[in-house]
Structure 1
């Protein structure tokens, strides 16, 4: 089975370099590494690491929002053209545990999981010390996010709740990807496109499967909860999701924005809008 790791990047070059160092410590190395550089022409000059066979796909940005959904499709398309049997999507901030690649491969050959979206537990790391994260001891930091299932290594739990899917770390066979048809490229910027993809997968008969061995570790970076820096993207994408599926995604974030007076609507049949005092993107 040829495994292609697909990573999107815009900035965060230090995180990308550390991810590659972690991949090189894998018990099962990936066969290919596709980096999609979103409006980031500096990536191709430095990546991928020469010890990892791979390529960089250049994807210019149109408009103000990063084309995350389009970039994932572009990465998948490049990986499939290069012969991938298993597409392994890993956020640029995520460090693979030593058995992540092997764990996804094992799940992709398991009769009960192979036709599903394969998802691994993710630990959100504290800021690193002066020497960075010790990549040889990532498992010592294991504390998976409590909002998602976290089976033990060696365990695989089927799950049919599409709202639990996240695109930080997941794998899908080429056959299942083609059956789903990829991400909806009408989504731009942050939020909603991954939940939409999981709904498309469910419609195509592909639920989720949580893979205990496929553990990842999310490198620290400053953020906000709810992510107010992405409020305009989230409002736009939430309305698109509601138009497509008749329900509202990202409910916790929308409520958080309402509590702060940043948005109105986004519940029932009321469209989601930015509050008058919130600046619109150019």
Structure 2
């Protein structure tokens, strides 16, 4: 049985994950009525894959690759139903996901699931098998109230204000979330002005809060591959700082303060960024690929000829700006 829900996902090269996601949706009761797949890169052999359980609508790029925000917006706005569920392509979802979301979704509301991050090899199993062994593995949902006070480095914290350098819950909530299409349109979608790595999810959910939407967690759990521990994602320094500047210019505060504090401790940005504005003062010499892309080398002064984009941020005590997304 189909439900009046449009599922949306984006994919670039992880076609094996896409096939797994389609199989999971086919096992849902009820299934979505359609799955919108946005291909971020030129079509592959799977770009016309179909299902006998629901419609699959493929959206392609015509010339160049789509960035994540633009791909997400294209998928969400192309959906035919008012009820939308966005799914990361590598998510392992509950068979009751569509039913749970449809029963709880209301206007001016964003629903998300808790997310349990597991080693990649565990995510290749069916949802039921993962559920049975979850407690034995010892992993807990990243945004559950059951998360221990003493978070380890493999469980992103639920606390946005004290998150041990990891991403806030907003980047976790985007793994699977429901929203009405009309409400998504009111947000203006994901801000396509963010480039590269980091903070687009934080911006989107901050925008939802600014519009007065209620962000509510379903009792449903989602499993996903463990994310690297980006306490200080040096290989994404330029993107992250540029996006943090953009975020501050819109909202009047900096997100992911512990990530920025880690940059400051390494000497890459000014330590007084909250009072004086965020600036890059040194660059890492090179990436250490053996450490998940996190550089531990000594920083050096910015190389001549490299330009840094500056967004003029409001004063610290200035009223937060409304979104232009």
TM-score tier (shorter): 0.7 to 0.9
Tell me how far apart the structure 2 counterparts of residues 259 and 231 of structure 1 sit (CA, whole Å): 13
Instruction: Note closer, same or farther for the CA distance 1:208–1:272 as it changes in structure 2 (3 Å cut).
Output: farther
Query: Could you state the TM-score of these two structures normalised by the residue count of structure 2?
Result: 0.70
Shift of 1:275: 2.5
Tell me how far apart the structure 2 counterparts of residues 99 and 274 of structure 1 sit (CA, whole Å): 50
Deviates more, 1:49-58 or 1:172-181: 49-58
1:133 aligns with 2:125: yes
Shift of 1:133: 1.2
Corresponding residue pairs, total: 260
Residue 247 (structure 1) aligned to one of 235, 242, 253: 253
Deviates more, 1:119-128 or 1:268-277: 268-277
Cα RMSD for the two superposed structures = 3.1
CA shift digits 1:38-82 (9 cap, x unpaired): 12422653635454411121236869xx62221111111111xxx
Matches within 5 A, 1:154-173: 164-165=169-170, 166-173=173-180
1:72 aligns with 2:69: no
Q: State whether residues 3 and 87 of structure 1, in contact with CA within 8 Å, keep that contact through their aligned partners in structure 2.
A: yes
Tell me how far apart the structure 1 counterparts of residues 140 and 100 of structure 2 sit (CA, whole Å): 16
Q: State whether residues 15 and 46 of structure 2, in contact with CA within 8 Å, keep that contact through their aligned partners in structure 1.
A: no
Shift of 1:128: 1.7
1:270 aligns with 2:277: yes
Q: State whether residues 115 and 142 of structure 2, in contact with CA within 8 Å, keep that contact through their aligned partners in structure 1.
A: no
Q: State whether residues 93 and 223 of structure 2, in contact with CA within 8 Å, keep that contact through their aligned partners in structure 1.
A: yes
Matched with 1:27 is 29
Deviates more, 1:13-22 or 1:47-56: 47-56
Instruction: Note closer, same or farther for the CA distance 1:6–1:229 as it changes in structure 2 (3 Å cut).
Output: farther
Matched with 2:110 is 117
Tell me how far apart the structure 1 counterparts of residues 225 and 26 of structure 2 sit (CA, whole Å): 17
Matched with 1:154 is none
Query: Could you state the TM-score of these two structures normalised by the residue count of structure 1?
Result: 0.79
Tell me how far apart the structure 2 counterparts of residues 173 and 12 of structure 1 sit (CA, whole Å): 27
Q: State whether residues 234 and 284 of structure 2, in contact with CA within 8 Å, keep that contact through their aligned partners in structure 1.
A: no
1:99 aligns with 2:96: yes
- Larger RCO, structures 1/2 (Cα 8 Å, 6+ apart): 1
Q: Which of the pair has more CA radius of gyration?
A: 2
Tell me how far apart the structure 2 counterparts of residues 61 and 100 of structure 1 sit (CA, whole Å): 35
